């Protein structure tokens, strides 16, 4: 199984013909926080040493920060890697995993790699159809995957509907909620499910340092899960992971001073997101309201043409052929250039505004 192409290449090939603005990977436009960057650079002298295989300091820091017992925490290779560890722990003998479609493009591959079978449930108005997902649960279902905010649409689920959904799921079926983009949410009705995970014996919540914290290259994430599931998931993880620099950077990122700066950055990115959405909508392009660090254009059959147009102009975006285009919110200059290129596309291909 292969993942959709972002519409270009980040490395290799003729460098004179490579796009110079990458808005395809949902990376933050901000570099790591200065204090974190200094710590990682200073740790280069210890690269010959193995990291703490128990990640004790990171687990203790997360437990204090989140107010949950360390026994309910698992750290590992980003939220995607932890998702696979959890599914492997939950469905060691196979079974099915229900997930939304369209959602994170790696879910079907993660599920298959864990030895389970994916059961996709179509979105309704670009959002998870929680009623249909609950209806899809059978005796073979081991797990349900929910992405909130959803990737690639940026849509969110609210407190009351999530609670109704969780109430419908049998206690033996685990619900994994992927909150990789939680820090970018400004909608007050989107619940922080880490705060309620302890009250639900079948709820796991995923978070990552790859997005808002700007540590994508270090691959550090964490899961909050019932103690039994957390213990089983740890056994599926690689030894000596996360790396030493990754553990140290994650601990430093959770420092109150660093987190305050992070929240400022997230608020600024949310303002850029709103401005970019408004400008694209003003061009007549179909923009879905987003609570993540990207926006989704429901371009349908024009998705590939828009992606190719952007690439010729030096911009990478993520195409989902026949469905839409996901555009990461960049810095002010990158967003401004994207809007200019989108305006050119609307002028040269009027079918985009009719999708």
Environment class of residue 117 by beta-carbon count within 10 Å: exposed (0-12), middle (13-18) or buried (19+)?
Answer: middle
Question: Tokens 């952007």 map to which residue?
Answer: 310
Q: Are 129 and 101 in contact (CB under 8 A)?
A: no
Q: In this predicted structure, which of 41-50, 159-168, 203-212 has the lowest mean pLDDT?
A: 41-50
For the chain, percent of residues with pLDDT exceeding 90: 80
- Residue 13 pLDDT: 40
Please state, rounded to an integer, the average pLDDT across all residues of the chain. 91
Average pLDDT of the segment spanning 157-163: 97
For the chain, percent of residues with pLDDT exceeding 70: 93
- Residue 351 pLDDT: 55
pLDDT tens figures, 337-347: 999 999 999 99
Q: Are 189 and 158 in contact (CB under 8 A)?
A: yes
Most confidently predicted of 11-25, 30-44, 69-83: 69-83
pLDDT tens figures, 189-201: 999 999 888 889 9
Average pLDDT of the segment spanning 100-105: 97
- Residue 319 pLDDT: 97
- Residue 42 pLDDT: 81
Q: CA-CA distance, 181 to 208, in Å (whole number)?
A: 8
Note the Cα 23 to chain centre separation in Å.
Answer: 15
Average pLDDT of the segment spanning 309-335: 97
Q: Are 201 and 174 in contact (CB under 8 A)?
A: no
Average pLDDT of the segment spanning 19-33: 92
Average pLDDT of the segment spanning 3-26: 62
Average pLDDT of the segment spanning 2-23: 56
- Residue 327 pLDDT: 98
The string of DSSP codes covering 9-65 is -SSSS-GGGS-SEE-SS---SSPPPHHHHHHHHHGGGGTTS---TT-HHHHHHHHHH
pLDDT band at 16 (very low <50, low <70, confident <90, very high): very low
Average pLDDT of the segment spanning 99-111: 97
pLDDT tens figures, 205-261: 999 999 999 999 999 999 999 999 999 999 988 777 899 999 999 999 999 999 899
Q: Which residues pair with 76 in a beta bridge?
A: 221
Identify the H or E element spanning 308: helix 303-312
């Amino acid at each position: 199984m292969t993942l959709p192409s972002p519409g270009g290449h980040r490395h290799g090939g003729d460098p004179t013909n490579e796009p110079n603005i990458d808005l395809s990977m949902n990376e933050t436009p901000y570099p790591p926080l200065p204090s974190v960057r200094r710590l990682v650079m200073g740790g280069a002298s210890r690269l010959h040493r193995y990291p703490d295989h128990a990640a004790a300091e990171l687990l203790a820091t997360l437990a204090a920060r989140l107010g949950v017992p360390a026994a309910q925490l698992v750290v590992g290779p980003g939220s995607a890697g932890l998702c696979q560890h959890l599914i492997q722990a939950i469905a060691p003998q196979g079974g099915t995993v229900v997930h939304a479609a369209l959602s994170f493009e790696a879910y079907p591959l993660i599920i298959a790699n864990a030895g389970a079978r994916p059961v996709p449930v179509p979105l309704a108005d670009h959002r998870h159809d929680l009623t249909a997902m609950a209806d899809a649960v059978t005796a073979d279902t081991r797990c349900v995957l929910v992405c909130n905010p959803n990737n690639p649409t940026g849509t969110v689920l609210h407190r009351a509907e999530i609670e109704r959904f969780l109430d419908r799921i049998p206690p033996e079926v685990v619900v994994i909620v992927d909150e990789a983009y939680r820090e970018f949410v400004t909608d007050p009705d989107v619940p922080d499910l880490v705060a309620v995970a302890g009250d639900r014996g079948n709820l796991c919540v995923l978070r990552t340092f790859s997005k808002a914290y700007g540590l994508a290259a270090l691959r550090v994430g964490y899961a909050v899960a019932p103690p039994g599931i957390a213990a089983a998931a740890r056994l599926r993880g690689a030894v000596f992971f996360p790396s030493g620099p990754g553990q140290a950077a994650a601990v430093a990122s959770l420092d109150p001073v660093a987190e305050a700066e992070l929240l400022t950055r997230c608020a600024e990115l949310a303002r850029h997101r709103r401005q970019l959405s408004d400008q694209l909508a003003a061009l007549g392009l179909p923009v879905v309201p987003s609570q993540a660090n990207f926006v989704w254009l429901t371009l349908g059959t024009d998705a590939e043409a828009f992606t190719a147009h952007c690439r010729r102009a030096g911009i990478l975006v993520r195409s989902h052929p026949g469905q839409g285009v996901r555009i990461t919110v960049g810095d002010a200059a990158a967003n401004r250039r994207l809007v200019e290129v989108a305006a050119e596309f609307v002028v040269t291909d009027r079918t985009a505004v009719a999708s």
